[in-house]
Amino acid sequence: MPAKDLQGITTDRADLIVIGNGIAGYIAALETRQYAPGARILIVTKQNHPTINTPALKQFGAGQLELEHLLAYSAGTERQLGIGIIHQRAVTLEPSRHRIWLDDGRAIQYQNLLLATGARATPLPQDLPGRSFDGVITLHTLGDYLDLRRRLATVSSAVVIGGGYHAAETAILLRHHRLKVTWLIRGRGLLPRQLDTTASDLLLRQIRRQGIDIRLESEIAGVVGRLGVAAGVITLANEFIPCELVVAAIGTQADTALAERTSIAVKSGHGLRVNERLQTLARDIYAAGAVAAVRDPQTSQFDARGQWYFAVQQGRLAAAVIAGVPVSSSAAMGAVGNFWHATQFDKLHVVVAGAPMLSERDHPDNETFTNGSAAFYRRIVVRHGHLVGYLSVSADPPAGLTIKRLIDERINIEEIKRQLLTEDFDLRSFFTERRLHALGTGEISAVPQPVADITRAHPILDQQAG
């Protein structure tokens, strides 16, 4: 008899197996169901909770939201759509046999496989003294934040380690709970691949105003403890900082374990290399979300992107490609095109698009323009009249996704490049006027057009039609 899950859905084979129930995998399963109502779809996940809105975890940690507010979809949405779910770890992948093995010994055949295994928090180095003491934590999963909330009532001071957005947001979260917070940053500023010194200094000044002790070029040498419980940290400068909580916010690593030792191109910790259709090198295997390493159009490097926006867009793209549904060029570029990220630190909004830290050293035709004040900064990189990088730190958020579109669609910005450096330029109005002018003059080339369809006919829909 074929194996069945708790919903009575056959689980020894499936048209689509999704590994992981983060937002990329979950959306891919839901949208594939819309495209192929009769397909057998199965989600395999080691998580014991429904898909959650991970950007809201910081608010949950701050006590501003409760558990029920974290749900990305109503509990049981997949069951209502006839999508099976197995709460097991997938331990072995056999691409040549189109088969996965679970840790309970079951084998499941797939027609298509989507790897949406996400990422893991990067821990402190294995050889760091005291790294295993109670009170040394990472913040990445729901379980991590539940643990934090239980601890907050008993701690009064914390050290945060890391030099990125996550570390900054964590320091602000802990300060919100009135902890004494010391933030150690190994480098001279924040995120040197995305922010220049001016932008970094502007953000750090804003964060310091909240009472956070920020120490640049400071690195942890070890954790000091009493009876196995963290009591402080020692820096490489031999400075002791007392604390009851040590938070490692030093980044994430793509969870590539299942694909290792297969034909899929894996750079351990950095993701599974995919093309513009999210296909890996193994036939009928796709990857989406924080485990998928996509090619950056500006740098030609392959990197995984952990942002919620890309996870959502890649989940949608994966569903369309697997089902053979046409995808517009703008939708594809939204999922795998130029980098984009937006966040907020207190009163300052940060938007990064493309590669704003490129310079003339990277390409002789790169032009860099900047403008700023005590509470505002903007930097753009232009090449041959096209925007290739954008950075903004300001009280009023710019139209971030519209900026991304300027880069993705290679729209000539020569006439507005100086205006892009100002706080009050309305980019959306520029787009509207541009389209109206194109329609009035018949210059249809002035309006971005979709490129050739990136999808093809696929057996899931062929099978449904037959």
Q: How many CA atoms lie within 13 A of 75 on its CB side?
A: 7
Instruction: Give 193's pLDDT tier (boundaries 50, 70, 90).
Output: confident
Q: Tell me: pLDDT of 440 over 60.
A: no
Q: What is the mean pLDDT of the chain?
A: 89
**Residue type for 361, please?**
R
φ and ψ of 13, to 5 deg:
-160, 155
**Residue type for 225, please?**
G
Instruction: Give 331's pLDDT tier (boundaries 50, 70, 90).
Output: confident
pLDDT reported for residue 424 = 85
pLDDT reported for residue 399 = 81
Residue partners of 92: CB distance under 8 A and separation at least 6: 100, 101, 258
| H-helix segments, 62-184 | 77-80, 142-151, 165-176
Bridge partner residues of 26 (DSSP): none
Q: Tokens at residue 393, please?
A: 């730190």
Query: Residues 440-459: what's their mean pLDDT?
Result: 42
CB contact at 8 A, 23 and 311 = yes
Q: Tell me: pLDDT of 149 over 90.
A: yes
Kind and range of the H or E element at 55? none
Which range among 105-119, 199-213, 258-272, 323-337 shows the weakest confidence by mean pLDDT? 258-272
The domains found in the chain, sorted by start residue, are 13-120+253-337 (3.50.50.60), 123-250 (3.50.50.60), 340-440 (3.30.390.30)
| H-helix segments, 209-364 | 308-323, 329-336
Query: Residues 327-356: what's their mean pLDDT?
Result: 91
**Residue type for 407, please?**
I
57-96 pLDDT per residue, tens: 999 998 899 999 999 999 899 999 999 999 999 999 999 9
pLDDT reported for residue 353 = 95
299-321 pLDDT per residue, tens: 899 999 999 999 999 999 999 99
Percent with pLDDT over 70 in the chain: 90
208-227 pLDDT per residue, tens: 999 999 999 999 999 999 99
Kind and range of the H or E element at 390? strand 386-394
pLDDT reported for residue 446 = 42
Q: Tell me: pLDDT of 374 over 90.
A: no
Q: What is the pTM of this model?
A: 0.89
The strand pair at 180-185 and 213-216 is best described as parallel
